[in-house]
């Protein structure tokens, strides 16, 4: 069925259809609407979720971890500082192998405090052991959230899943959306029936040991293997989802990449802007394309390398600043992925859009202009630059 | 199902429980803390009135009780702290120096 | 539990907390945890929640759990929120027919995890009204990391972060009165308890806390031979002195009604409690008599206030 919803509404609606057992709720801009909409569903008796209005994001994640361990399906939503406050617990959720689902509405991190979009919050959590799936728009935010549980809860995976969308740009903009019937959603998600859980009658469960050196490393290897196993499961779930929705998802989306010589690698809503720029350049005869990373964890390194193998110059666009002095996190992953190619394209990193700094089609066209120049001359120039900031010097 | 008794410091990662979970009750009982003792309690059954005052004071649950009687110490778990000797009103427990052999 | 406490009957119940854990010899925490869990009725299951602490690293060291019931440890600062999550899951799954029977939720945290880093999480859980018990085993310092001061450490106590030197005299501040803060949450049951005598005190308070609906709080004095610097075998004596000097008064607040549960026949001087413990040794040096006076004055003032409140 068709509707018009904001990204936050779309995720809240997905939550209503799923009717999870427990929600840990705490407000933070721009994700606040998710627990707000959901609270109304609870108040109206449309769901019978145990809705726990905690005193911090730290506690919302703590509630989710414990509820999931107890045998419940637990969810929460957050942004920015909220995710940062959960930092320690994100590791605990993953290392205890508890498939909690979290809707992250991406927002810049302090300081200075800023409520607008970039990816510094979830990128800061990229090594916590969570599966991370990013949306370009409302439709994807809804679809990704529906796919999260079948991915995370699979016994061979058992990892928490963070579905991300861009704050305000996606979370608050109302767009057309195709929603699935609730019955179809429930059948797709299925029941959560873990083999062992705290409330199980037949045998107790002990969770969260003190792990000494002779065991810790082995447990981390188990976790790392689960993250590897997640890749195949994500694709499997995407195939199942296509059957009920007609919408196809992969680890990333390739846009006009068939014969592309110049390409962008980016994440999230900027893809919409960039696709318009690609279309315009294609009309001008430029062989431009883009790759929108959907799944950042597990990182689709080999697949990305194959997709970029025939390009000449690639710009990675990082919507977060990692302060490595060597480029952003997406750049680090992409450059690493390309290392195994026999012939590698030229690669640059552009950090952009921090704290809600706007990016327009003209900005993207300029990036392609730079790539065209690099491809033609072989002169790569500065590898790691910022875009969109005021400067005394001309910038990218 | 993976059991605690099958887990040790030579177990390969494939045979450990994910997340370090344990699916059984009280597996700590498998672990011998009796070797920690530097002093050992001696139970004088004849003097014991089975008042049970020593039992809840044992931090290691090492004083078994059965059919209204307290039995001799569980020396696999007793750490020899000596609290029981101090709370016994009837001198039915005395501490001796050294760790007695474990059962 | 039938109406009259009977130690013989209670100690014959199957133990919920086993030996083989790695707490130090003579550790008060093991005694407190045993004592609290013993109050569970045999037919009821429990989920034990634990803050990072001596207790946690000693009682669930992979692959050895000392609990007969389900157990979860998540982090240091979030045990009350963790318990909230388990309790919420219980209600959700019960409503959906996925869980049967009575399950009780009992959280253990040390004073570091309760008075300090876990305080927000505890306050939140109590305010929300989860049906759970939070038990603080209070050994008055961060013992797991090697005896650093907490807000529960009493005035003048020597710890590794409040050492005694030519200028320093141990901890400068008084102990935070956490039990009163919890009472101010208007929870149905809050109590201070200690492992003494035949354990009637700890047992009956634990039973009330476990079987009173809603959030309940127990603050249990838990002597630590290492941190307090006394011989391990002296635990019962030290705990007894804490209550007989009124340093650690035993009382409960049930639905807002304060009640002293123990009045010493003879209120002993505070020195009697302080003297056997190395952490207070400097208070007995010549010239430091003022410390003993201050300590006594503080206890007297708190005790008087408690007498007024309880109408004793």
Using the beta-carbon criterion (under 8 Å), do A222 and B18 form an inter-chain contact? yes
The domain segmentation of chain B, as residue ranges, is 1-31, 32-103
SS3 A163: strand
Show the tokens assigned to C256. Answer: 């807002």
| Among A86, A96, A27, residue whose Cα is nearest residue A62 | A86
- % of chain B residues with pLDDT over 70: 96
Residue A71: closest C-alpha in chain C: C89
Tokens representing A353 are 């859009």
Listed by number, the residues of chain C in 99-128 with a beta carbon closer than 8 Å to a beta carbon of chain A are: 99-101, 103, 120-121, 123-125, 127-128
pLDDT tens by residue, A285-328: 999 999 999 999 999 999 999 999 999 999 999 999 999 999 99
Residue ranges of domains in chain A, CATH in brackets = 2-245 (3.40.50.970), 252-387 (3.40.50.920)
Among chain A residues, the shortest Cα distance to B24 is held by A204
Rounded CA gap, C140 and A136, in Å?
Answer: 52
A212 close to B16: Cβ distance less than 8 angstroms: no
Q: What is the pLDDT of residues A204-262, one digit of tens each?
A: 999 999 999 999 999 999 999 999 999 999 999 999 999 999 999 999 999 999 999 99
**pLDDT band per the 50, 70, 90 thresholds, residue A396:** very low
CA-CA distance, B62 to B56, in Å (whole number)?
A: 10
Q: Would you list the DSSP string of C181-212?
A: HHHTTT-SEEEEE---TTSHHHHHHHHHHHHS
| Separation between Cα atoms, residue A356 and residue A80, nearest integer Å | 13
Taking chain C (312 residues) in runs of 10, the rounded mean pLDDT of each run is 84 98 98 98 97 98 98 98 98 96 97 98 98 98 98 98 97 98 98 98 98 98 98 98 98 98 98 98 98 98 97 86
Q: In the prediction, which pLDDT does B103 show?
A: 45
Chain A partners of C65 at a C-beta cutoff of 8 Å? 206, 209
d(C-alpha B57, C-alpha B36), whole Å: 18
- A and B: number of Cβ contacts within 8 A: 53
The CATH number fitting domain B32-103, selected from 3.30.70.870, 3.30.70.20, 3.40.1180.10, 1.10.10.10: 3.30.70.20
Structure tokens at A315: 């710009």
Q: Counting beta carbons within 10 angstroms of the beta carbon of residue C213, is it exposed (0 to 12), middle (13 to 18) or buried (19 or more)? A: exposed
Of A203, A215, A226, the CB nearest to B23: A203
Residue pair B77/B33 in contact (Cβ under 8 Å)? The answer is yes
Alpha carbons B94 and A226: distance in angstroms, whole number = 54
Nearest to A206 among C67, C98, C120 (CB): C67
ipTM exceeds 0.95, yes or no: yes
User: A140-170 burial string, b = 16+ CB within 10 Å, else e?
Assistant: bbbbbbbbbbbbbbbeebbbbbbbbbbbbbb
Distance from CA of B30 to the nearest CA of A (A): 16
Looking at the partner chain, which of B12, B18, B22 has a beta carbon nearest the beta carbon of A158?
B18
Q: Cβ atoms within 10 A of the Cβ of A182, count?
A: 13
| Residue B101 scores a pLDDT above 60 | no
With the C-alpha atoms ordered C7, C9, C12, C14, is the resulting torsion angle positive or negative? negative
Q: Neighbouring chains of A at 3+ CB pairs within 8 Å?
A: B, C
Chains that touch B (3 or more CB pairs under 8 A): A, C
A208, A213, A222: which to substitute to probe chain C, counting the most C Cβ within 10 Å? A208
Residue pLDDT, tens place only, A258-285: 999 999 999 999 999 999 999 999 999 9
CB spacing of C7 vs B59 below 8 angstroms:
no
Task: Return the half-sphere exposure (C-beta side, CA atoms, 13 A cut-off) of residue C21.
Answer: 33
A52-108 confidence digits (pLDDT tens): 999 999 999 999 999 999 999 999 999 999 999 999 999 999 999 999 999 999 999
What is the arithmetic mean of pLDDT over B54-69?
98
Cβ-based contacts of C96 with chain A (< 8 Å): 21, 48
* Contact (CB<8Å) C85/A88: no
Q: Kind and range of the H or E element at A59?
A: helix A57-70
* Chain C residue nearest residue B74, CA to CA: C19
Per-residue model confidence as pLDDT tens digits over A384-395? 999 999 999 875
Tokens read off for A103: 């809707």
Query: Cβ of A212 and C61 within 8 Å?
Result: yes
For the domain C7-310, what is the CATH code?
Answer: 3.40.50.970
A264: which 2 tokens? 């962008």
Which single residue is written with the structure tokens 């407000």? A27
Band of the pLDDT at A46, cuts 50, 70, 90? very high
pLDDT of residue C2: 52
pLDDT at residue A348, rounded to an integer: 98
Q: Which two tokens stand for residue A56?
A: 């911090």
Residues in contact with A34: Cβ distance below 8 Å, sequence separation at least 6, in sequence order: A8, A11, A12, A15, A77, A103, A105
The CA distance from A179 to C262, in Å, is: 64
Tell me, what's the pLDDT at C312? 80
Residue with tokens 């409330």: A199
β-pairing verdict for A161-166 and A101-106: parallel
Measured between alpha carbons, how far is C255 from C214 in angstroms, rounded to an integer? 11
CB under 8 Å to A218, separation ≥6 — which residues?
B11, B12, B13, B16
CB contact under 8 A, C78 and A59: yes
Domain boundaries along the sequence of chain C? 7-310
Place of tokens 């196809």: A248
pLDDT(A3) > 60: yes
Q: How many residues does chain A have?
A: 396
- Measuring CA to CA, how many Å separate A362 from each of A253, A273, A349? 22, 9, 18
- List the single residue in B with minimal CA-CA distance to A214: B9
Specify burial of residue A281 (Cβ count, 10 A radius: 0-12, 13-18, 19+): buried
Direct distance between the N- and C-terminal alpha carbons of chain C, in angstroms, rounded to an integer: 27
CB A20 within 8 A of CB A74: yes
What is the average pLDDT score of chain A?
A: 98
Phi then psi for residue C103, to 5 deg, are -125, 135
- State both tokens at B80: 């020899």
């Amino acid at each position: 069925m068709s509707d018009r919803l904001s990204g936050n509404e779309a995720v809240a609606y997905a939550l209503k259809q799923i009717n999870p057992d427990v929600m840990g709720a705490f407000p933070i801009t721009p994700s606040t609407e998710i627990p707000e909409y959901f609270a109304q569903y609870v108040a109206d008796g449309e769901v019978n979720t145990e809705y726990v209005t905690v005193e911090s994001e730290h506690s919302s994640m703590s509630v989710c971890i414990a509820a999931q361990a107890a045998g419940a399906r637990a969810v929460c939503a957050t942004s920015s500082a909220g995710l940062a406050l959960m930092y320690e617990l994100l590791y605990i959720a993953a290392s205890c192998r508890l498939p909690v689902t979290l809707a992250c509405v991406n927002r810049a991190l302090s300081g200075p405090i800023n409520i607008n979009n970039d990816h510094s919050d979830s990128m800061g959590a990229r090594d916590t052991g969570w599966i991370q799936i990013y949306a370009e728009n409302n439709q994807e935010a809804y679809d990704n959230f529906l796919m999260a549980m079948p991915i995370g809860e699979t016994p061979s995976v058992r990892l928490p899943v963070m579905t991300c969308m861009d704050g305000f740009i996606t979370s608050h903009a109302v767009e057309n959306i195709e929603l699935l019937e609730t019955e179809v959603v429930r059948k797709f998600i299925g029941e959560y029936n873990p083999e062992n859980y705290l409330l199980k009658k037949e045998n107790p469960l002990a969770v969260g040991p003190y792990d000494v050196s002779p065991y810790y490393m082995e447990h981390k290897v188990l976790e790392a293997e689960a993250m590897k196993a997640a890749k195949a499961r994500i694709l499997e779930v995407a195939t199942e989802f296509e059957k009920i929705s007609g919408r196809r998802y992969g680890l990333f989306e390739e846009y006009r990449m068939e014969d592309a010589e110049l390409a962008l690698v980016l994440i999230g809503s900027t893809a919409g802007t960039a696709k318009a720029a690609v279309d315009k350049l294609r009309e001008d005869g430029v062989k431009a394309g883009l790759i929108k990373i959907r799944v950042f964890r597990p990182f689709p390194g080999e697949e990305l390398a194959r997709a970029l193998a025939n390009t000449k110059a690639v710009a990675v666009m990082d919507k977060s600043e990692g302060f490595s002095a060597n480029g952003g996190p997406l750049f680090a992953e992409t450059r690493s992925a390309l290392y195994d190619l026999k012939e590698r394209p030229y690669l640059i990193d552009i950090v952009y859009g921090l704290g809600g700094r706007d990016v327009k089609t003209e900005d993207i066209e300029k990036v392609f202009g730079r790539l065209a120049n690099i491809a033609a001359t072989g002169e790569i120039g500065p590898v790691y630059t910022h875009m969109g900031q005021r400067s005394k010097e001309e910038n990218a | 199902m993976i059991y605690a008794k099958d887990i040790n410091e030579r177990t390969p990662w494939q045979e450990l429980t994910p997340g370090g979970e344990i699916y059984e009750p009280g597996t700590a009982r498998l672990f011998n803390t009796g070797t920690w003792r530097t002093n050992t309690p001696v139970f004088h059954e004849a003097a014991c009135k089975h008042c049970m005052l020593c039992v809840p004071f044992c931090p290691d649950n090492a004083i078994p009780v059965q059919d209204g009687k307290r039995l001799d110490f569980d020396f696999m778990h007793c750490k020899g702290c000596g609290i029981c000797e101090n709370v016994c009103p009837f001198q039915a427990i005395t501490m001796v120096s050294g760790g007695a052999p474990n059962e | 539990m039938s109406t009259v406490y009977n130690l013989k009957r209670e100690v014959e119940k199957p133990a919920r907390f086993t030996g083989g854990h790695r707490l130090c010899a003579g550790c008060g925490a093991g005694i407190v945890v045993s004592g609290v869990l013993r109050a569970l009725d045999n037919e009821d299951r429990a989920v034990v929640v634990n803050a990072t602490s001596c207790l946690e690293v000693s009682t669930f060291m992979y692959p050895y759990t000392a609990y007969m019931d389900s157990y979860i440890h998540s982090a240091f600062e979030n045990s009350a929120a963790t318990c909230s999550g388990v309790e919420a899951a219980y209600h959700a799954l019960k409503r959906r027919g996925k869980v049967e029977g009575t399950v009780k939720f009992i959280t253990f945290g040390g004073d570091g995890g309760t008075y300090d880093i876990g305080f927000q999480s505890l306050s939140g859980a109590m305010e929300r009204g989860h049906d759970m018990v939070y038990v603080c085993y209070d050994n008055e310092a961060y013992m797991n990391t090697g005896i650093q001061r907490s807000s529960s450490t009493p005035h003048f106590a020597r710890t590794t972060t409040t050492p005694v030197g030519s200028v320093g005299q141990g901890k400068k501040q008084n102990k935070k009165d956490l039990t009163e803060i919890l009472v101010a949450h208007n929870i149905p049951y809050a109590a201070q308890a200690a492992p003494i005598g035949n354990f009637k005190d700890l047992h009956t308070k634990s039973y009330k806390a476990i079987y009173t609906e809603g959030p309940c709080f127990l603050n249990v004095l838990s002597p630590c031979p290492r941190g307090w610097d006394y011989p391990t075998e002296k635990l019962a004596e030290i705990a007894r002195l804490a209550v007989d000097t009124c340093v650690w008064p035993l009382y409960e607040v049930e639905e807002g009604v304060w009640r002293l549960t123990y009045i010493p026949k003879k209120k002993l001087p505070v020195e009697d409690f302080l003297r056997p413990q190395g952490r207070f040794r400097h208070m007995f040096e010549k010239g430091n008599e003022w410390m003993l006076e201050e300590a006594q004055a503080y206890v007297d003032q708190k005790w008087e206030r408690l007498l007024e409140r309880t109408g004793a």
